[in-house]
Amino acid sequence: MELLDFEEPIELLLEQIEQAKIIASKSQIDMTETIADLEAKVEETRKNIYKNLTPWQRVQVSRHPGRPYTLSYIKAMTDGDFIELHGDRQIEDDTAMVGGFGSLDGKSVLFIGQQKGENTKMRQYRNFGMSNPGGYRKALRLMRLAEKFNRPIVTLIDTPGAFPGITAEERGQAEAIARNLFEMFRIKVPIICIIIGEGASGGAIGIGVGDRVIMLENTWYSVISPESCSSILWRSWEFKEKAAEALKLTPQDMLANGLIDDIIPEPAGGAHSHPEIMFETVKAEILKHLEILEQKDVNTLISERIEKFTRMGVFNER
C-alpha cells in the first residue's frame, strides 16, 4: 500500500517486518514473536499518527489512492445486492457520478455518489470524480424515482469539484447544481449525505442537501480546495497547509461550526487501512439515522431540512 509522507515511521517498521520475514525464511530462526511485536507496533504508530493529523494531512488522507470509493461502499454495504442505473435521460451518462437502488439489510435504498477511478485508466474514465451537468441531472432523476417509490436516499460525496470544461458550461453546470440544491429541499423522502473523501465546493453540495450531513473522520468539506485557495489568496501554490488550516475544513471544525450533523470515526490508519471495518461502520450509521428519519412525517422532515440550512451563517446585527 502507498504511504503518505507523514507515515514514514510506519514505513520503517514495515521494512523491519519484511526483513524479519526474510531472516525467518532463510535461517530457521523463529521470528514469529518479533514479527507480531512489530505488527503491533505498526498499529500503535498508525494510531498515534492518525490521532494528531493536521488539516492538510487529513486532506492528504482523503485523497489517498488506496481509499475506498463510492461503488466499493455500495457493493460492500449491500453485499452485492445493487443495480447501477445510468443516464440523465437528456443527453449523457456521466461516468463520474453513479447511482442505483440497493438493499441494506433488506431495506431498499437509493445510492448516489461521485466515483473516482482506482487506476490511471479508470481515473480518466471517471474523470477524476469530477461530474459534468449530466451527473447532477442523473442524480436528480434517480432521487425523483426514489421519492416516487418512497425509498430513502443516501449520497456518498467524494469529488475534487464539478468539472470545469467547455461542454460542462455549455450544458449548464451551474444550473444543474442549482437545480439539485432547490429540488433536494423538496424531495419527500429522507436524505443522508456522507462525505467519504473530498467534499469540494459546489461539486459536493450539488448532491449534499440532506436531513443528515455526515463526514468520515479523515475527509474535508469546504468552499474551495486548499491548493486553489492558496493560489488565489496567497498568489502561490505554496501555502496549501496554511490554507487548509484557515479554511476550517476538517470534520471537527465543520461540526463545531454547526455545518454538519455528525462524524463517523475511521479505523486507525484511515478508511484505506481497514476498508471492511469502514464499510460496516458506515452501514450501521446509515441504518441508525434512517430509523430516526423514517419516523418523521414528510412535512416535518422537509421543514426541518429547510430550517437547518437556513440557520447556517454567522453575522453581526446592529
Partner 1 sequence: MGWFTRLKKGIITETKDKKDIREGLWYKCPRCKKIVTSDDHYASANVCSECNYHDKTNSQHYFELLFDNQDYTVLFNNLYPADPLRFVDTKKYVDRIKITTKSTGINEAMSVAAGKIDDLNLVVASMNFEFIGGSMGAVVGEKISRAIDHAIKTRSALLIISKSGGARMMEAGFSLMQMAKTSAKLTLLADARLPYVSLMTDPTTGGVTASFAMLGDLNIAEPEALIGFAGPRVIKETIKRDLPEGFQRSEFLLDHGFIDFIVDRRELKLRLAQQLRFLMA
- CA nearest to 246, candidates 116, 49, 59, 108: 59
User: What is the sign, positive or negative, of the torsion defined by CA atoms of 43, 44, 50, 53?
Assistant: negative
Closest distance between partner 1 and the C-beta of residue 260, in Å? 9
Closer to partner 1 by CB, 125 or 182: give it.
182
Helix (H) / strand (E) containing 84: strand 82-84
Q: With contacts defined by CB under 8 A, how many residues of the chain interact with partner 1?
A: 56
Per DSSP, what are the bridge partners of residue 205? none
Closest distance between partner 1 and the C-beta of residue 171, in Å? 7
Q: Contact, 141 vs 97, CB < 8 A? A: no
Q: Which amino acid is at 41?
A: K
Tell me: does residue 59 bind partner 1 (CB under 8 A): no
Tell me: does residue 310 bind partner 1 (CB under 8 A): yes
Q: Which of 43, 86, 103, 185 binds partner 1 (CB under 8 A)?
A: 185
Closest distance between partner 1 and the C-beta of residue 1, in Å? 30
Tell me the per-residue interface mask from 152 to 171 with partner 1, x by CB under 8 A, - otherwise: ----------xxxxx-xxxx
Q: Contact, 108 vs 74, CB < 8 A? A: no
Q: Which amino acid is at 37?
A: D
Burial environment of residue 68 by CB neighbours within 10 A (0 to 12, 13 to 18, 19 or more): buried
Cα separation of the two ends of the chain? 55
Among positions 197-226, residues that touch partner 1 (CB under 8 A) are 201-202, 205-206, 208-209, 221-224
Closest distance between partner 1 and the C-beta of residue 81, in Å? 32
Per DSSP, what are the bridge partners of residue 290? none
Among positions 221-250, residues that touch partner 1 (CB under 8 A) are 221-224, 229, 232-234, 239, 242-243, 246-249
Cell of residue 212, nine digits? 443528515
Closer to partner 1 by CB, 107 or 248: give it.
248
Cell of residue 10, nine digits? 510506519
Closest distance between partner 1 and the C-beta of residue 134, in Å? 14
Residues in contact with partner 1 by CB under 8 A are 162-166, 168-175, 177-179, 181-182, 185-186, 201-202, 205-206, 208-209, 221-224, 229, 232-234, 239, 242-243, 246-249, 253-254, 257, 259, 305-306, 309-310, 312-318
